[in-house]
Amino acid sequence: MAETPDPDAGFAAAILRRFAAIAESHLLYSFTRSWVVMIAAVFAVTIIAAALAAQWIAPTNPLDLASLDLMDSRLPPAWMEGGDPRFLIGTDDQGRDLLSALLYGAQMSIGISLAAVGVAILLGVTLGLISGYFGGLFDTLIMRAADVQLTFPAILTALLVNGAARALLGDQRLQGGEFWVLVVSIGLAFWVQYARTVRASTLQERHRDYVQAARLIGVPSWKILTGHVLPNVLGPVTVIATINLALAIITEATLSFLGVGLPPSHPSLGTLVRVGNDFLMSGEWWIVFFPGVVLAGLALAVNILGDWLREALNPKLR
Amino acid sequence: MSSYLVRRLLEAILVMVVVAIVAFTLFRFVGDPVNQMVGQDIGIAERDRLRAELGLDDGLLVQCGRFIWNALHFDFGISYKFRAPVTDLIAARLPATLELSLAASIFAIAAGIPLGVHTGIHRDGALSRLIMAGSLIGVSLPTFLIGILLIYLFSVTLHWLPSYGRGEVVSLGFWQTGFLTGSGLRALILPAVTLGLFQLTLVMRLVRSEMLEVLRTDYIRFARARGLTDRAIHFRHALKNTLVPVVTIIGLQIGSIIAFSIITETVFQWPGMGLLFIQAVQNADIPIMAAYLLLTAVIFVTINLIVDLIYRAIDPRIRMSGRV
Amino acid sequence: MTDSVLSVRDLVIEFATRRGPLRAIDGISFDIAKGEVLGVVGESGAGKSLTGTAVIGLVEPPGRIASGEIRLAGRRIDNLPRDEMRKVRGKQIGMIFQDPLTSLDPLMKIGDQLIETIRTHAAMTWAQARDRAVFLLEEVGIPAAAERLMAHPHEFSGGMRQRVVIALALAAGPDVVVADEPTTALDVSVQAQIIALLRRLTRDHGMAVMLITHDMGVIAQIADRVAVMYAGRIVEIGPVREVIGRPHHPYTAGLMGSIPSLRSDHARLRQIPGSMPRLDAIPQGCAFNPRCDRVLDRCRVERPQLASFDRTAAACFDPILGHDAEVRA
């Protein structure tokens, strides 16, 4: 009983301790050692920052339909013959400035992906904690559900949830709700991994002396869970979240590409590629090229960061 | 052995029942079947008649039972959009998807295992590093981008291969195959590579990490200490020992190949089930979605069972203990 | 020694690390004659297994043989090309590993593993190799050998598996066998059988055996000579009776003190205060000096070399001589 629980050991304090430990580990060391990781980090941060600042740095507002001029449609990048200096990387079929559309689109994609990963974490961590800590019927139900869902690829789950939402809401009510339909369908597709990881660590922690001691002296369950169990799963959850972010970005783009994501008037990386794909045959490569590169680069960079995090933190993931 | 099989079979049936209930819930509650089938101008009385005709007034259990019973007889109802039996629609498109999935799986396995073995044995070699870097890019590229890239390269720029469709097909009774014509085979290449690439990288990375693991084991060290040749060690001892997890993953990946064919079929306008399904999602055509869900579940569960049987054939220890 | 089959001279093995090379084996020399069993003892981490690994040519990066030489029947083998060395392994030097449960390929029938090994080194037909496999299994005492060829490793008990491992190590008739803790993973009752088997095989085949163990009981039962290793060096080497009966190095004496009695086969070496230094923190002078109760000022600055006392040699500035050696053994 050396480790009696500190009554002040709240969630915040625990997280601070956790991150102090991470900083002391060779995380920083390995970061500065690998130039690939550095480039990936710089790329990801640049894209994300530019996307978040789209409202301020984009030359035009692609959502403002009144400003569009069909005469400007399908112009090549500025440096090519027939290019227009107003449109640095060309325009799409609506005459939208591709750079602006790209910035707004990236913002939309990143926003959806972050929100979806948030939904997945919230759902997965909560269910994992309940499953591991209380066991019994909860555990059986949740883990069976996880097993069944794992049988299906995430993209299929997302498509089914998406299709069900469309049928439930109908086309009119869906207007404007596409963002949340995407968030929920992607989030529901990715919760299983968090639930399993959190459940495994919770099972381990539950039998530790200090948790038993805390239970004996009557510390409420939620306090034990947030103060002691949760901080211990932060490492693995961070890694899964990073890798999932890349997956979520790809999934959002895929859904939008398949035509079940955002409507074409709302640019996201996927819708831009979808639109651009139609013009690839006629040689207007830039409409698909730039969104494609940003999408692939972003997914690759986040993946590299996730790989590096996994190795540096070395949690037992699988 | 047989009791284990029975248990696995029961588990599989349980999964199928759960999926069937989900499919039924979709079918019955998501969207109103009657509204979907008739126009706005049909009167209430007419609707009620149709409702009774479809059995929508019966008890839920009865309806669910009827749904499962019908599904067991390959009756999934009528598509809202196409006004045709779902079974006919799927049957017409199943061969295209299965042929594409088969070609993609063969590509993924035939290329993934050798690459994985190579990178596992020569883990620090220049070629290995190149392959590994390439595989990370392969994992990060969304399938549809790979497809678009390949189309741009091989169809638009080089004009070597067709960019959409199945080419000519030959009818073998109920099965339309593209394997027997030159244009069918040419049309297969790009979609199969697109679909298989992600699985290829997965297989490769898995074989590599399993190889690395196995090469560290005592029995490999002992094999080296007995002076066995590298070839015998790598292929007779190491590779065989990596196969249990590899077969598992490959089996599971065949399932996800079928799911990912949705994307590939969209990019290449490949007339398969995936294309049908994505149209169904766009149109909220629930009977097709429910049928697709059931069908893929059957395929996944069957593959899981087969995978189980295969690794019993590979690993004699499992035959003894019943579990890995 | 002219009749030595295996001869190791000034062997140094280093590991490349981020902070420069670490010396794991620091200039050790020993010989093993035909038909002789040399026991190598020491705590884990002393470098016993690594020495065995070097003899059979399987030191892997980041480790490497930095200097010294290893000779087999007069022929230098530490610098052989990869494929030449492979032919030496199994054919001229056999190795027995510690854990019979993990030493055999779980997916291959033991008959196939034997036949594969035999045919790698000898131009035999499959049928000839199969006959030899049966003969080998019989020789290591496996009943119904011909039928057992078809069995997989998991169908054998631990002791039987170690017999199979020994049969595999002897498959191509090596002159030298490196046995790395061959009995440690086994039940006590089985240990005695395996030791008896090793002793018989050594006698019958006239093999030279390098027996690595941390179990002085095993050494006393089977070895002719013994080398005591500490922190990558040999601190004492000589005939078993001498070393056990009258140890000269305080570390050896400590090891002997930790044997409850030679009747017990399960002696563990844990009675010397402190623990062996890590490779990156080996003290100046004699590596044993922080744990030694006879330590002199000189021991802290200067490293003692092996020096002869009667028939043994010890590396110590203040060796235990004559009646100092009151050891219960």
> How far is C-alpha B142 from the geometric centre of its chain's CA atoms?
17
The helices-and-strands tally (H runs, E runs) of chain A is: 13, 0
Is A174 inside any structural domain? yes
Interface probe, candidates A36, A37, A47, A151, chain B, greatest B C-beta count within 10 A: A151
* Least confident range of B98-112, C24-38, C195-209, C259-273: C259-273
What percent of chain A has a predicted confidence (pLDDT) above 90?
Answer: 7
B35/A218: higher pLDDT: A218
The reported pTM is 0.76
> Residue B197 is part of a domain; what is its CATH number?
1.10.3720.10
Using CA atoms of A305, A306, A312, A313 in order, give the dihedral in degrees to the nearest 10: 140
Does residue C298 fall inside a structural domain? yes
Helix, strand, coil percentages for chain A (3-state, nearest 5): 75, 0, 25
- Whether B123 and B184 map to the same domain: the answer is yes
In a domain, C248, yes or no: yes
Contact (Cβ atoms closer than 8 angstroms) between residue A53 and residue A62:
no
At residue C55 the predicted structure's pLDDT band, cuts being 50, 70 and 90, is very high
Phi–psi pair at C24, nearest 5 degrees: -95, -35
Q: How far is CA C278 from the centre of its chain?
A: 21
Pairwise CB contact (< 8 Å): A295 & B142 = yes
A220-271 pLDDT per residue, tens:
877 777 777 788 777 788 888 888 888 899 889 888 888 888 877 788 888 8
Q: Provide the pLDDT confidence category of residue A318 given band limits of 50, 70 and 90.
A: very low
**Residue pair B322/B4 in contact by the 8 Å Cβ criterion:** yes
CB A247 within 8 A of CB A190: yes
- The answer to whether residue C273 scores a pLDDT higher than 50 is yes
Q: Would B86 be classed as within a structural domain?
A: no
The reported pLDDT for the residue numbered A217 is 81
Q: Which of C86, C121, C152 is closest, CB to CB, to B316? A: C152
CA distance C203 to C192: 17
Could you give the number of structural domains in chain A?
Answer: 1
> Is residue B324's pLDDT more than 60?
no
Note the pLDDT of residue A7.
41
Distance between CA atoms of residues A92 and A104, nearest Å: 14
Q: How many CB pairs under 8 A join B and C?
A: 79
Place of tokens 């498509």: A159
* pLDDT over threshold 80, residue A14: no
CA distance C48 to C13: 12
Task: Let me know: does B166 contact B180? Beta carbons within 8 Å.
Answer: no
Subunit contact C102:B316, Cβ cutoff 8 A: no
Query: Does A264 fall in a domain?
Result: yes
A153:B286 CB<8 A: no
Specify burial of residue C20 (Cβ count, 10 A radius: 0-12, 13-18, 19+): exposed
Q: For residue A26, is it within any domain? A: no
pLDDT above 50 for A108: yes
Picking from C102, C106, C117, the nearest residue to B226 by CB comes out as: C117
Residues 6+ apart with CB under 8 A from B141: A296, A299, A300, B149
Q: Given an 8 Å threshold on Cβ–Cβ distance, is B227 in contact with C105?
A: no
Q: Domain range holding C295?
A: 236-260+281-329
- Chain centroid to Cα B211, Å, comes to 26
Number of helices (H), then strands (E), in chain B? 14, 2
The confidence score (pLDDT) of residue C38 equals 93
Query: Residue C9: its pLDDT value, please?
Result: 92
- ipTM of the complex, rounded to two decimals: 0.84
Q: What is the mean pLDDT of residues C128-155?
A: 90
Angle at alpha carbon of residue B265, lines to B259 and B270, rounded to 5°: 135
- Half-sphere exposure of residue A240, counting CA atoms within 13 Å on the CB side? 24
Element (H, E) at C310: none
For range C187-198, the mean pLDDT: 85
Average confidence (pLDDT) over B59-82: 80
Cβ atoms < 10 Å from Cβ of A49? 10
Q: How many CB atoms lie within 10 A of CB B31?
A: 22
- Tell whether B259 lies on the interface with A, counting CB pairs under 8 A: yes
pLDDT at position C270 is: 45
C8-27 mean pLDDT: 87
Q: Assess whether pLDDT exceeds 80 at residue C261.
A: no
Residue A69 lies inside a defined structural domain of this protein: no
Query: Rounded to a whole number, what is the largest CA-CA distance in chain A?
Result: 78
For B157, the token pair is 């720029």
DSSP string, A278-301: HHHTTT-THHHHHHHHHHHHHHHH
Instruction: Please compute the mean of the pLDDT values over residues B91-95 and round it to a whole number.
Output: 88
Nearest residue on chain C to B241, alpha-carbon basis = C107
3-state secondary structure C272-293: CCCCCCCHHHCCCCCCCHHHCC
pLDDT, greater one: B35 or B300: B300
Report the distance separating Cα B87 and Cα A219, nearest Å.
Answer: 58
Q: Which structural domain range is residue A285 located in?
A: 37-61+74-317
pLDDT of C8 higher than 90: yes
- In a domain? residue A3: no
Contact B152 A258 (CB under 8 A): no
Residues of A in contact with B11 (CB under 8 A): none
H or E element that contains C176 = strand C176-180
Q: Which residue has the tokens 């470098």?
A: C47
Residue C211 has pLDDT above 60, yes or no: yes
Whether C147 maps to a domain, the answer reads no
- Taking the CA atoms of A27, A30, A33 and A38 in sequence, report the sign of the dihedral they define: negative
Q: Which residue of A has its CA nearest to B289?
A: A160
Is it the case that residue C173 has pLDDT exceeding 50? yes
Q: Which of B219, B314, B320 sits opposite C105 (nearest CB)?
A: B219
Query: Which 8-state DSSP code applies to residue B173?
Result: T
Domain total in chain B: 2
pLDDT digits (tens, 9 = 90+) for A28-79: 555 555 778 888 889 989 999 988 888 888 777 777 766 767 766 767 776 7
> Torsion angle, CA of C115/C172/C203/C43, rounded to 10 degrees?
-100
Contacts with C116 from chain B: Cβ below 8 Å: 228, 232, 236
Is residue A312, in this structure, part of any structural domain at all? Answer: yes
Mutation target vs C (from B210, B216, B219; most C CBs, 10 A cutoff): B219
Q: Which residues lie below 8 Å from residue C131, measured CB to CB, with a gap of 6+?
A: none
Residue C32's φ and ψ, nearest 5 degrees, are -130, 130
* Calpha distance B136→B115 (Å, rounded): 14
Dihedral class, residue C296 (left if φ above 0, else alpha if ψ from -120 to 50, else beta): beta
Neighbours of B107 (CB within 10 A): 19
Residue reference for tokens 């002696």: C267
**Contact criterion met (CB < 8 Å) for C89 and B236:** no
What's A96's domain CATH number?
1.10.3720.10
| Residue C133 pLDDT exceeds 80 | yes
Model pLDDT for residues B223-255, shown as the tens digit of each residue: 999 989 888 999 888 988 888 778 777 777 777
Within 8 A by CB and 6+ apart from A67, the residues are A60, A61
Q: Is the CB of B137 less than 8 angstroms away from the CB of A258?
A: no
C-beta separation of C49 from C24 below 8 A? no
Instruction: Count the domains in chain C.
Output: 1
Asked whether residue C256 is assigned to any structural domain, the reply reads yes
Q: What does the pLDDT average to over B51-70?
A: 77
**Strand C312-314, strand C22-33: pairing:** unpaired
Q: Is residue B316 classed exposed, middle or buried when 0-12, 13-18 and 19+ CB atoms within 10 A define those classes?
A: middle
Chain centre to alpha carbon of residue A196: 19
Helices B240-268 & B273-283 angle (0-180, nearest 10): 60
Q: Give the span between the Cα atoms of B228 and B310, in whole angstroms.
A: 28
Residue A13 lies in a domain: no
Tokens 């000839």 correspond to C128
- Look at residue C310 and tell me if it is in a domain: yes
Exposure string (b/e) for C268-293, b if CB count within 10 Å is 16 or more?
ebeebeeebbebeebeebbbbbebbe
CA angle B259, B264, B269 (to 5 degrees): 120
According to DSSP, residue A86 is labeled: T
Return the C-alpha torsion angle A129, A135, A141, A143, nearest 10.
60
Find the domain containing B44 and state its range: 2-72
Cβ <8 Å between B26 and A166: no
Q: Are residues B160 and B287 in the same domain?
A: yes
- The answer as to whether C189 is a domain residue is no
Contact B296 A281 (CB under 8 A): no
Q: For an interface test with B, give the residue of C99, C107, C119, C210 to mutate (most B CBs within 10 A).
A: C107
The band of A286, judged by pLDDT with boundaries at 50, 70 and 90, is: confident
- B163 neighbors B156 (Cβ within 8 angstroms): yes
Q: Is C59 on the interface with B (CB under 8 A)?
A: no
Same domain, B97 and B214: yes
